[in-house]
Amino acid sequence: MAETWWWDLTRGRAVTGDERPADIDVLGPYPTREAAERWRERVEARNEEWKEEDERWEQKGRDEEE
């Protein structure tokens, strides 16, 4: 079975499932240590996608009001 990795927000480092603290203090799971270490890139990309989706949703609402 492949090892699962998490980003520990408190300690600021990638940890395995055995080292993982409470769920509120981690991001993941990630398939590799490297993916966990790139957590910020993934979060920023998702935030940008959600922002664009919100803008499309708001524009659609404005178009329907006209």
Each of the 66 residues of the chain gets a pLDDT tens digit; together they read 579 999 999 999 999 988 988 778 999 999 999 999 999 999 999 999 999 999 999 988 888 877
3-state secondary structure (DSSP) of residue 18: coil
CB contact at 8 A, 8 and 29: no
Distances (CA, A) of 39 to 7, 13, 33, 52, 62: 7, 10, 10, 20, 35
